[in-house]
């Protein structure tokens, strides 16, 4: 399964017992003071997908960032808390040894996997009409944000402000995105892509205040078949805040593939300062 793609390298987990793994933070997905939140969410999901007792495919995933991971090794514990006929409930924890030699929890998570059946289905949120990705420019690097170089991101609207002048007027971003180098989409990379968006407060205020995700939830609408059909193509991501209030804002996200299928929806609550 493991390839030379940096995403796969970052997700390498060595099983020490069923549901117990050792991993390493990866410099390719480093953010300013810890790993990119999306790679942590992907790591949580991978620990579930590697579990010998796994039932079905990912349906929902909630990851809570309790504390930033430091550079180096970490452990992951994934437990199938309850297995029903067609759904399975997971609890996942990431731990790291601190300077005093104690184990501290850096991440808590829950997830549900499900054996899906074909039913009546309906898309109820059409993809917005936007220019195709090959007509748009990729954004460049961002100084000090290494993980940003792992994605080809092409904004349609709501790019990072060029001027921090406090004159923002919308929290809406629409952008095309995919892994770079290209990589076929899977559940883990889809979870990571749900966290690609820069903080809504930067856009709404046109001010780069300190901000960080506290908790993210991803609902997977696509099964593995639809992910395979998507392949290594672009996804259209849309992100918007609903409320900024006393140090926290929310972000609601939709992710469509180029064919217009809604693959995942996601939400997060984000800390901000000032």
Q: Hey, which residues between 212 and 271 contact a copy of itself (CB under 8 A)?
A: 214-215, 217, 219, 221-223, 240-248, 250, 252, 254, 262, 265, 267, 269, 271
Distances (CA, A) of 153 to 124, 141, 177: 26, 10, 4
Task: Give least dist CB 117 to a copy of itself, A.
Answer: 5
- Out of 125, 165, 167, 182, which residue is the one contacting a copy of itself (CB under 8 A)? 125
Binding mask 93-122 for a copy of itself (x = CB under 8 A): x----------xx--xxx-x-x-xxxxxxx
Provide, rounded to whole angstroms, the least separation between the CB of residue 7 and a copy of itself: 25
Binding-residue pattern over the window 40 to 59 for a copy of itself, x denoting contact by CB under 8 A: -------------------x
Angle at 1 between CA 8 and CA 112, to 5 degrees: 80
Output the smallest distance, CB 127 to a copy of itself, in A.
11
CB of 95 to a copy of itself, least distance (A): 10
Rounded CA-CA distance 244/21 in Å is 37
How far apart CA 93 and CA 107 sit, in angstroms, is: 6
Name 76's Cβ contacts closer than 8 Å, sequence gap at least 6.
13, 20, 21, 22, 23, 43, 44, 47, 92, 93, 94, 95
> Which residue carries 């992951």 as its tokens?
76
232-255 b/e (C-beta count within 10 Å ≥ 16 → b): eebbbbbbbbeebeeeebbbebbb
Among 12, 66, 139, 159, the residue binding a copy of itself under the rule CB under 8 A is 66
- The Cα angle at residue 189 between residues 148 and 49, in degrees rounded to 5: 140
Binding to a copy of itself in span 77-96, by CB under 8 A: 81-82, 84, 87, 89, 91, 93
How far is it, in rounded angstroms, from Cα 178 to Cα 183?
8
How many other C-beta atoms lie within 10 A of the C-beta of residue 113?
26
Residues 196-215 that bind a copy of itself (CB under 8 A): 204-205, 214-215
Residue among 124 and 134 whose Cβ is closer to a copy of itself = 124
Tell me the C-alpha distance between 60 and 80, whole Å.
Answer: 14
Determine, following the binding rule CB under 8 A, whether residue 124 of this chain makes contact with a copy of itself: yes
Q: Is 206 helix (H, G, I), strand (E, B) or coil?
A: coil
Q: Which of 14, 27, 123, 144 binds a copy of itself (CB under 8 A)?
A: 123
- Residue 144's SS3 state is coil
Q: How far apart are CA 174 and CA 106, in angstroms?
A: 31
Output 157 or 182, the one with its CB closest to a copy of itself: 157
The residues binding a copy of itself (CB under 8 A) are 59-60, 62, 64, 66-67, 81-82, 84, 87, 89, 91, 93, 104-105, 108-110, 112, 114, 116-125, 171, 204-205, 214-215, 217, 219, 221-223, 240-248, 250, 252, 254, 262, 265, 267, 269, 271-274
């Amino acid at each position: 399964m493991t390839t030379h793609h940096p995403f796969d390298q970052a997700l390498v987990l060595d099983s020490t017992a069923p549901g117990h793994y050792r991993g390493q933070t990866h410099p390719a997905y480093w953010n300013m003071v810890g790993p990119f939140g999306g790679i942590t969410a992907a790591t949580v999901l991978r620990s579930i997908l590697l579990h010998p007792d796994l039932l079905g495919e990912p349906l929902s995933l909630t990851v809570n960032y309790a504390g930033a991971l430091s550079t180096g090794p970490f452990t992951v514990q994934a437990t199938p808390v309850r297995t029903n006929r067609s759904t399975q409930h997971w609890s996942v924890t990431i731990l790291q040894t601190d300077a005093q030699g104690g184990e501290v929890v850096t991440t808590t998570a829950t997830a549900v996997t499900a054996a899906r059946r074909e039913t009546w289905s309906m898309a109820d949120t059409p993809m917005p009409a936007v220019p195709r990705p090959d007509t748009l420019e990729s954004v460049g690097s961002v100084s000090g944000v290494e993980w940003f170089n792992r994605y080809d991101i092409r904004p349609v609207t709501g790019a990072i402000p060029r001027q921090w002048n406090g004159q923002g007027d919308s929290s809406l971003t629409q952008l095309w995105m995919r892994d770079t180098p290209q990589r076929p989409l899977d559940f883990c990379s889809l979870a990571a892509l749900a966290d690609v968006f820069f903080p809504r407060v930067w856009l709404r205020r046109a001010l780069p205040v300190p901000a960080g995700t506290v908790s993210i939830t991803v609902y997977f609408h696509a099964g593995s078949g639809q992910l395979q059909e998507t392949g290594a193509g672009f996804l259209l991501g849309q992100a918007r805040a609903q409320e900024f209030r006393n140090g926290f804002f929310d972000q609601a996200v939709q992710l469509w593939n180029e064919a217009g299928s809604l693959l995942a929806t996601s939400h997060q609550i984000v800390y901000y300062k000032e």
